[in-house]
Amino acid sequence: MGTIAKNSHTFSVFGDKAAVVADLAFSGVYEHGGISIDHDALLGIHTVEAAFIEMKAGYSFVHDKANKKIKVFGPAPPICYEEHHVLDSSYQFKTKYPAAYFMNMAAIDQNIAFRSTGIAKASLSAGQCCLASQMAEGELTTITVSPANQTAVGAIGDGTGWTAGGDWAAASNEMHKASSADTTAVTLDTWAAKVGHTYRVIYAVKSYASGGVKVTLGGVNGTVRSADGTYTEDIVATSTAGLGFTPSGTSHLSVDDVYILDLDVYATYVTQAWKDVWDNVVQDESVTLSSSGAVSLANQALAVMYLDQITATAGALVFGDEDESAADSGKVSIALNQTADAVLTSHADQDAKVCKLTYIKNPLSGFLYDRAFDNESATKAGGGDPYSNTFDYPLLLWGYCGQAPVVNGTTQTIIPYFGTTAAGTVVFDWFAAGARGAGNAVPAAGFVVSGTSNVTLTAAGVWGRVDEIVTVPLEVADGVDLSNLTSVKALFIGL
């Protein structure tokens, strides 16, 4: 945690006001919300009415009078690509910077679909996420995630998918260990951990009679359990070894209801440093869908973060190509970057269903307006599987969060760049160099699709280079070392 000390100061009185000129020294690491400053002890002022702090080493400072803190601001990236987080005990994480728009949320080999704001974790389906509360200016954004179970055979069933060693055997939909001193493990087939990932293992011990059992995952042993109960353990894998349960003593018990949850997630988002985006975000606009005619949003839209049906069978809807005249069930087509307000086309199954959207509206002038594109067909650059494609434009902002519509086909979902594609998933190379027009070599977005033959993706968003974005300073990220701020001049006025 950061601290503030003073190298020196002078104290003057002018009428009923005191003025202190101080030479401040910062140390430690920054924590969002600011560094506490004890006005009385440090400055000899009980109440600070105004503070003027010089810039230093590229940082600027804001005095938070109400909370008696100094906030530190500095340059911030306009876009964070696949920012890595580990979910906490509540299945949440906070972004490194205040967010303005999310382009993707994913686990390593699986997309995580956005729902509308404020849904409790228990109401999210596996593989879904949501904003814990609406994005707010200057505030880190909290995301709630419901990770998918990594094993489809956790309920044990007839034992298929498990290798039962020693005196283990599947019985009554549980993995049962007969009474013996055999310490051979029962192991889950085909699943391998990823080194460095944190896994939450949840399992039940049932029909306990004697001995004990411990879970092993990714080369790490868990705690020996010697009683009936449901147990939760967080394990950081040190190898690619899989999951097993090892008995100890003269053990006689059963194991069931096994869940492996990968707590590592990757967020790609626009930060509030890209002020044009933040100024044009519309959060949780509500519309009622209809297949009998196009439904309009309140604004022209450049990019959509989510479509969430909140009535009847609630759930995240799928983006469709805007040229589809009648979207499939569960799919909504949005006409982006139009001369009129954005329109939604949906299937009859969505008739009269209320949907919430968060999107970026078209500002009708400026950088976002000039660089917006929509309904672009990606060009397949080669044959084989996976298919490699590139867009005509270098991609800055993707218009369909987490998804890539296919013309009259199945919408693909986006996984991280280093993930392994499977049927229905796509990898975006946010960092690749490509060509935009003859002889004009600038960074372009490319992608690969696996398991789908000869697809043509539809692209929408904003094109350009990151260095073209005009940014504003943001509060520095947690963990920034402040030790270089050793002589910061400041004037405090108060009582």
**For residue range 23-76, what is the model confidence (pLDDT) as tens digits?**
999 999 999 999 999 999 999 998 999 999 999 999 999 999 999 999 999 999
- Do residues 320 and 61 lie in contact, with contact meaning Cβ atoms separated by under 8 Å? no
Its pTM stands at 0.91
Show the CA angle centred on residue 314, arms to residues 309 and 315, nearest 5°.
70
pLDDT at 449 > cutoff 80: no
Give the CATH class of 162-262: mainly beta
Where along the chain do its domains lie?
A: 3-75+477-494, 79-140+268-361, 162-262, 367-468
Rounded percentage of the chain residues whose pLDDT exceeds 90: 65
Task: Read off the pLDDT of residues 342-353 as tens digits, 9 standing for 90 and up.
Answer: 778 887 788 888
Task: Read off the pLDDT of residues 300-344 as tens digits, 9 standing for 90 and up.
Answer: 899 999 999 998 778 888 888 887 766 677 788 888 877 666 778
What distances in angstroms separate CA 251 from CA 25, 162, 224, one per listed residue? 61, 19, 11
What is the residue whose two structure tokens read 């967020």? Answer: 267
Amino acid at 61: F
Amino acid at 400: Y
Q: Which CATH number fits domain 3-75+477-494: 2.60.40, 2.50.20, 2.60.120, 3.30.1490?
A: 2.60.40
Q: b/e string for 481-490 if b means 16 or more Cβ within 10 A?
A: ebeebeebeb
Q: Can you read off the two tokens belonging to residue 280?
A: 């044009």
Conformational region of residue 28, where left means phi above 0, alpha means psi within -120 to 50, and beta covers everything else:
left
Q: Centre a 10 Å sphere on the Cβ of residue 211 and count the other Cβ atoms it contains.
A: 19
Is cis: bond before 386, omega within 30 of 0?
A: yes
Determine the average pLDDT of the residues in 213-226.
Answer: 98
User: Would you say the CATH fold of 162-262 matches that of 3-75+477-494?
Assistant: no
- Do residues 128 and 146 lie in contact, with contact meaning Cβ atoms separated by under 8 Å? yes
Give the pLDDT of residue 452: 67
- Do residues 31 and 2 lie in contact, with contact meaning Cβ atoms separated by under 8 Å? yes
pLDDT at 440 > cutoff 50: no
